[in-house]
A and B are shown apart, each in its own frame.
Chain A
Amino acid sequence: MAGPPHEKFHETLIDPSLQTAIYTATARLADHRRTALETLPEFEELRTQANLIKRHTIENLGFYLEQFEANAQAHGAQVVWARDAAEAAGFVWELAKRKNARLIVKSKSMTTEEIGLNERLARHGLEPVETDLGEFIIQLAGERPYHIVAPALHKTRFEVADLFTEKLGVPREVEIEKQTRIARAVLREKFLAAGIGISGANFLIADSGAVTIVENEGNIRLTTTLPKIHVAIAGIEKMIPRAQDLAVFLKLLGRSGTGQALTVYTSFLAGPRRAAEIDGPDELYIVLLDNGRTRLLADRQKRQSLYCIRCGACLNHCPVYRKIGGHNYPWVYSGPIGAILTPQYMGVEHDPWLPFASSLCGACGEVCPVKIEIPKLLLDLRAEIHAAEARRGRGRLERLGFRVWAWVMRHPRIYELAGLMASAVLPGDHWFRRAPALLNYGPLRAWLSQRDLPPVGKSFRQLWRERRKAGEK
């Protein structure tokens, strides 16, 4: 079991330009959200509705998946069930081979990041190209997304300028607008030449058999309509029962993520191009991915994690994410939602420090548009991790410490004695910084590495007794 990557935290924390980049970008997204919600008085009501719709859907997921499959097939789409990453990627690879396609244009999708689709396809000699500007940048840089909705949030325009010059051989250009034009020129060629387009999905609509995708750049429109073949890869939890439920979710998603009342484009994929239509793919495949989701479904409490609509609001409001950034989380999902998804998908024995990397401030739960109780789930996971560690005979010292602590707390006389002893050896404010290294260990050293201690004197109970005595006289 790996401990927390303190070294990596340190590197991020001491990098002033990175800190500024994270802090200002998340603050901007959070500010936009706040402004957008000022004109949505029914926000709290919508959150409750979204939570209830998601709960209902997740609890009846089997029914809605079958309904979705039947309706999608009726539109002429082909539904593919993928148990895991290998099956999903294997399907795309086989399809590409069959259709003799090498170049694939992709739109931004956390689900494809989750299954490492690009790496898997590249291994088979295919060329997947990310067409969202942020994703395009991080693909060139060989990195994974820094943020769920803003993948290149950590990159300054100067870094992007250097990257473009290095990878694309273009003159150094630091103006964002001109950088966008460079990316656009590169990508337009790719769009026209690609044999397959791959997208994710924001929503799967059971009663219409349609896939809904939101975006701002227009690259999804192109990805889903230009190539002859389109593949939408969606986690099964993306389901909503009815098209009219979008009235709830679309109002919440844009505002929570970027502060937009509605994203610039909202695309609906319902079957391939029909006879009289001008654009659209000849073949539409919808890959319904499990990859651990049905395992999450088994836990009545924690399956609410599957309600997530990937808006990223919890990241923007998380004081821990805003310090350590996205790449210090062990998996593609970062921030508070990553801290609850990762142990559930990977197992609690992987990166057991992750649910502990939170001050439990509750900002994530407060902003979540579908009301996932993230702080509560973090607490549940902490308890589960300790139980798992106990079974493996790990973490004995801390457990013993808490056992002794609890015993002391149940014995007030001993508690008072322990307090008296501590105050006897802990005189005053700056004492420990001058104390011999021997005494300067463990939690105390961790505390003192950042902060000073308050002076220790008489306890409240001592002073209370003295006060009462003085009052009696």
Chain B
Amino acid sequence: MRRVSIFVTCIVDQLFPQVGLAMATVLERLGYEVDFPEDQTCCGQPAFNTGYRDEARSVARHFLRVFRDAEQIVVPSGSCTSMIAHHYRELLGDECEGIEGRVWEFSKFLIEVAGVEDVGARLDKVVAFHDSCHGLRELGIKEGPRRLLSRVRGLTLREMDAAEECCGFGGTFSVKFPEVSGGMARTKIDSIVRSGAEAVVGIDASCLMQIRGALSRAQAPIETLHLAEVLAHR
């Protein structure tokens, strides 16, 4: 049996565990044996993005130790994947040799490694897809999730006019500049509302937390779903 390790990310572990379970479910259905190394915590991105390089480096080293023997690491986040695949090199140089070839964002793994688009999911909903920034601009993820969604039975995909616009989360930016971040979130949800979608789907739990929080504050009856949750649904 093929084996994959999952790095669920700290935010999914603590706040959106259903996303991790959904991802594991999809991978198992595709015939993978899913390994969850229990010593995993965070990739270090919060410290790196806030300018604390030493702290980020120490957490990155922890990640590398935990996943030293993992052949393929699947992550339900474009942002954390990009941190590991791209920014570890800036922090650690050759110490992270080869990690960029072993770590995969979930949708990219399905399409490029597992070679599937139809995972046998069904969800009767009209959804809009939010392009999360790091997935889009650092990993080039644009069509993949849409192709996966287009094979979900019962699902209708609507494009929103500001699909590529940032939701305003930005890690510590969201609390250092709350009003600007909140304004960005409201611009995003206006676009979601205009699309007529019942749910917004994304590949990053962090963006979805921001969008979900703003939707809830605006009392807009629109759900947020991680791509993994959609693909696990039957």
Question: Are A450 and B217 in contact, CB atoms less than 8 angstroms apart?
Answer: yes
The answer to whether B202 has its CB under 8 Å from any CB of chain A is: no
The answer to whether B170 has its CB under 8 Å from any CB of chain A is: yes
The answer to whether A446 has its CB under 8 Å from any CB of chain B is: yes
Closest A residue, CB atoms, query B55: A406
The answer to whether B98 has its CB under 8 Å from any CB of chain A is: no
Question: Are B180 and A324 in contact, CB atoms less than 8 angstroms apart?
Answer: yes
Query: What is the bound-complex CA distance between A412 and B20, given in angstroms?
Result: 18
Closest A residue, CB atoms, query B62: A410
Question: Are A319 and B21 in contact, CB atoms less than 8 angstroms apart?
Answer: no
Question: Are A454 and B209 in contact, CB atoms less than 8 angstroms apart?
Answer: yes
The answer to whether B47 has its CB under 8 Å from any CB of chain A is: yes
| Interface SS majority for chain B | helix
Question: Are B213 and A379 in contact, CB atoms less than 8 angstroms apart?
Answer: no
The answer to whether A429 has its CB under 8 Å from any CB of chain B is: yes
Could you tell me which residues of chain B, from 141 to 177, have a CB within 8 Å of some CB in chain A? 164-166, 168-177
Question: Are B179 and A13 in contact, CB atoms less than 8 angstroms apart?
Answer: yes
- Which residue of B13, B138, B184 is within 8 Å of A362 (Cβ)? B138
* B191–chain A nearest beta-carbon distance, Å: 12
Query: What is the bound-complex CA distance between A384 and B49, given in angstroms?
Result: 12
Are A9 and B179 also in contact (CB < 8 A) when A359-B133, A363-B137, A461-B13 are? yes
Question: Which stretch, A136-144, A257-265, A267-275, A397-405, touches the partner chain B?
Answer: A397-405
Question: Are B52 and A451 in contact, CB atoms less than 8 angstroms apart?
Answer: no
The answer to whether A178 has its CB under 8 Å from any CB of chain B is: no
Query: What is the bound-complex CA distance between A383 and B48, given in angstroms?
Result: 8
Question: Are A460 and B178 in contact, CB atoms less than 8 angstroms apart?
Answer: no
In the complex, per-residue mask of B36-62: 1 if CB is within 8 Å of any chain A CB, else 0: 101111101011111111011011001
Interface centre among A384, A406, A415, A458 (most CB of B within 10 A): A406
- Which residue of B12, B52, B171, B178 is within 8 Å of A446 (Cβ)? B178
Residues of B with C-beta under 8 A to A385:
51
The answer to whether B185 has its CB under 8 Å from any CB of chain A is: yes
Question: Are B21 and A451 in contact, CB atoms less than 8 angstroms apart?
Answer: no
Interface centre among B44, B51, B58, B177 (most CB of A within 10 A): B51
Question: Are B50 and A406 in contact, CB atoms less than 8 angstroms apart?
Answer: no
The answer to whether A122 has its CB under 8 Å from any CB of chain B is: no
The answer to whether A2 has its CB under 8 Å from any CB of chain B is: no
Interchain Cβ contacts within 8 Å, total number: 185
* A138–chain B nearest beta-carbon distance, Å: 24
Question: Are A362 and B133 in contact, CB atoms less than 8 angstroms apart?
Answer: yes
A side interface size, CB within 8 A: 62
Query: What is the bound-complex CA distance between A406 and B14, given in angstroms?
Result: 16
Question: Are B183 and A323 in contact, CB atoms less than 8 angstroms apart?
Answer: yes
* B34–chain A nearest beta-carbon distance, Å: 9
Query: What is the bound-complex CA distance between A264 and B17, given in angstroms?
Result: 57
- Which residue of A357, A365, A398, A409 is within 8 Å of B42 (Cβ)? A409
- Which residue of A4, A363, A384, A419 is within 8 Å of B14 (Cβ)? A419
- Which residue of A323, A379, A443 is within 8 Å of B180 (Cβ)? A323
- Which residue of A319, A382, A453, A464 is within 8 Å of B36 (Cβ)? A464
Residues of B with C-beta under 8 A to A10:
179
Residues of A with C-beta under 8 A to B26:
none
* B28–chain A nearest beta-carbon distance, Å: 10
The answer to whether B109 has its CB under 8 Å from any CB of chain A is: no
Question: Are B51 and A379 in contact, CB atoms less than 8 angstroms apart?
Answer: yes
Residues of B with C-beta under 8 A to A382:
49-51
Could you tell me which residues of chain B, from 113 to 149, have a CB within 8 Å of some CB in chain A? 133-134, 136-138
Query: What is the bound-complex CA distance between A384 and B176, given in angstroms?
Result: 18
Residues of A with C-beta under 8 A to B210:
451
Query: What is the bound-complex CA distance between A167 and B166, given in angstroms?
Result: 41
In the complex, per-residue mask of B207-219: 1 if CB is within 8 Å of any chain A CB, else 0: 0011011101100
Residues of B with C-beta under 8 A to A399:
52
Could you tell me which residues of chain A, from 361 to 396, have a CB within 8 Å of some CB in chain B? 361-363, 365-366, 379, 381-386
The answer to whether B15 has its CB under 8 Å from any CB of chain A is: yes
Query: What is the bound-complex CA distance between A360 and B50, given in angstroms?
Result: 11
Could you tell me which residues of chain A, from 427 to 473, have a CB within 8 Å of some CB in chain B? 429, 442-443, 446-447, 449-454, 456-464, 467
Offer 30 A-B interface pairs, CB within 8 angstroms, sorted by A.
Answer: A4-B176, A323-B180, A324-B180, A357-B180, A359-B166, A359-B168, A360-B49, A360-B171, A361-B166, A361-B170, A362-B133, A362-B138, A363-B166, A382-B50, A385-B51, A399-B52, A406-B44, A423-B14, A442-B175, A447-B174, A449-B179, A450-B178, A450-B181, A452-B213, A453-B213, A460-B14, A460-B20, A461-B38, A463-B21, A464-B20
Apart from the given pairs A412-B39, A452-B213, A453-B213, 18 other A-B contacts in the complex at a CB distance below 8 Å: A9-B180, A359-B133, A359-B168, A362-B136, A363-B137, A363-B166, A365-B137, A408-B41, A450-B182, A450-B217, A451-B214, A451-B216, A451-B217, A452-B217, A454-B15, A456-B14, A461-B36, A463-B17
